């Protein structure tokens, strides 16, 4: 399974960007333990045996963690369960692409060319990462498909679910004006999203006492790059983006999509390209730091490639798909064996075995260990963990100490 394209589902969250897995899985676990009433439907961020919620994650709407909590309720809490849910949404996106290709009346060869996007490291690695992007890509594609097929109820339902998934989905709807169809639908979609965002702010106020509680205002300024990001310049950012897109999507696929965009000039392709570009341009900071936010280029690349190979012979499509798979396969395999957070995972497991439920563990370590590893330690420990520097004194009644500074 791993040799073709999917990280083993049972791999613990120790690799590249796997902080998403422990962060959102912990919120979902808190929903199950505390109940919806105690959490007030808010995303509780504390680890271990939480008695009274104090910290809430407010930067994104909660549909992902609601679904993940329900998923855990059915199949238990675990790494493979957390990885499987986003994978199903990404597979659902593949199905929607096929339905979209059918609507566009593309032949089999063109469809297969479009689906070559699933051979890229972007899809193969991040398809099993628990994050809002899995939902956003799915509901955005559903919105586009329902819009083109004039399925009004399905369109508005997908808009609502997209709005509850994350902010990047908001950006797809203005680009639908390029299709010159049903402008009233698009305007109503904007109104629906405005209501959802307003309700999100109201929910934040209910949880924290402020409409921008939980650091929402600070996060927005940071993501818009208004506070200044260390090391960020637009020149450096654009160079980095070019390198990332080539690494995660391959030059083969990017070249095919570029030729298709310039040569075919299909309105749908231009609309999807506009959506893919929107998030990196508007929220430059977050994409500068997190490469996986380039995942919104998937629909554009798929549709553009399909149009390019609209009349191609199957053998040409086969060669194209083989090149996409081969070009960055070594890079993908390198991603799958990353273990940056293995020390946090191992310490967390050790604490879980040694410390009884309800007790507190003290971890004494340098900042260089605590800052990157603490989420993983706390999640796998499933206990209340307090982190201290070596020069800080411990409380007199401390029972469980894990000193890494010796």
Q: Do 260 and 390 lie in a common domain? A: no
Q: Do 324 and 349 belong together in one domain? A: no
Q: How confident is the model at residue 5 (pLDDT cuts 50, 70, 90)?
A: very low
CA atoms within 13 A on the CB side of 116: 35
Number of domains in the chain: 2
Residue 258 and residue 110 share a domain: yes
Is 201 domain-assigned? yes
149-191 pLDDT, tens digit per residue, is: 999 999 999 999 999 999 999 999 999 999 999 999 999 999 9
Please tell me whether residues 134 and 283 are part of one structural domain.
yes
Picking from 318, 336, 354, the residue at the C-terminal end of a domain is 336
Residue 388 inside a domain? The answer is yes
Examine residue 11 and state whether it is found in any structural domain, yes or no: no
Same domain, 210 and 349: no
Distance of CA 168 to the CA centre of its chain: 10
Q: Give the residue numbers spanning the domain of 198.
A: 76-336
In angstroms, the CA 309 to CA 342 distance is 43
For residue 50, give every residue at least 6 positions away whose Cβ sits within 8 Å of its Cβ, in sequence order, or none. Answer: 30, 33, 34, 44
Query: d(Cα 403, Cα 390) in Å, to the nearest integer?
Result: 8
Token pair belonging to 82: 């957390």
C-alpha 300/C-alpha 272 separation (Å) is 5
- Average pLDDT of span 45-57: 91
Structural contact between residues 189 and 182, judged by C-beta atoms closer than 8 angstroms:
no
Same domain, 365 and 326: no
Residues 355 and 301 in one domain: no
User: Is residue 278 located within the same domain as residue 242?
Assistant: yes
pLDDT digits (tens, 9 = 90+) for 304-316: 999 999 999 999 9
When pLDDT is averaged across residues 65-70 and rounded to a whole number, the result is 98
Same domain? For 332 and 357 the reply is no
Whole-prediction pTM value?
A: 0.95
Spatial neighbors of 40 by CB under 8 A, at least 6 apart, are: 53, 206, 207
Average pLDDT of the chain, as a whole number: 94
In a domain, residue 219? The reply is yes
pLDDT single digits (tens) 95-112: 999 999 999 999 999 999
Same domain, 306 and 183: yes
């Amino acid at each position: 399974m791993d040799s073709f394209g999917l990280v083993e589902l049972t791999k613990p969250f120790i690799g590249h960007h796997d902080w998403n897995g422990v962060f959102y899985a912990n919120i979902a676990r808190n929903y199950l333990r505390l109940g919806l009433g105690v959490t007030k439907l808010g995303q509780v961020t504390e680890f271990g045996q939480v008695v009274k919620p104090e910290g809430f994650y407010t930067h994104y709407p909660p549909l992902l963690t609601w679904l993940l909590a329900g998923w855990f309720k059915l199949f238990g809490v675990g790494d493979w369960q957390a990885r499987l849910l986003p994978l199903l949404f990404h597979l659902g996106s593949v199905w929607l692409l096929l339905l979209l290709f059918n609507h566009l009346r593309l032949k089999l060869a063109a469809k297969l060319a479009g689906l070559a996007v699933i051979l890229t490291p972007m899809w193969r690695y991040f398809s099993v990462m628990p994050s809002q992007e899995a939902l956003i890509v799915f509901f955005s594609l559903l919105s586009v498909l329902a819009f083109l097929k004039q399925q009004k109820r399905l369109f508005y339902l997908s808009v609502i679910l997209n709005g509850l998934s994350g902010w990047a989905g908001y950006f797809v709807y203005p680009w639908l004006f390029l299709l010159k169809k049903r402008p009233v639908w698009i305007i109503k979609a904007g109104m629906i999203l405005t209501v959802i965002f307003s309700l999100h702010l109201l929910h934040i106020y209910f949880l924290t006492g402020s409409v921008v509680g939980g650091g929402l205002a600070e996060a927005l300024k940071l993501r818009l790059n208004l506070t200044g990001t260390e090391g960020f310049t637009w020149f450096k950012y654009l160079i980095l983006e070019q390198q990332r897109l080539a690494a995660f999507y391959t030059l083969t696929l990017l070249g095919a999509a570029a030729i298709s965009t310039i040569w075919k000039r299909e309105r749908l392709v231009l609309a999807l390209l506009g959506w893919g570009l929107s998030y990196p341009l508007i929220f430059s900071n977050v994409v500068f730091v997190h490469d996986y936010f380039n995942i919104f280029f998937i629909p554009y690349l798929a549709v553009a490639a399909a149009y390019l190979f609209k009349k191609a012979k199957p053998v040409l499509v086969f060669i194209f798909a083989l090149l996409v798979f081969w070009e960055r396969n070594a890079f993908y395999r390198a991603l799958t064996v990353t273990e940056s957070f293995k020390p946090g995972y191992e310490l967390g497991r050790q604490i879980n075995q040694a410390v009884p439920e309800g007790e507190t563990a003290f971890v004494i370590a340098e900042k260089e260990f605590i800052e990157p590893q603490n989420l993983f330690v706390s999640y796998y420990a499933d206990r209340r963990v307090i982190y201290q520097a070596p020069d800080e004194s411990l409380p007199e009644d401390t029972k469980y100490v894990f000193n890494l500074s010796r």
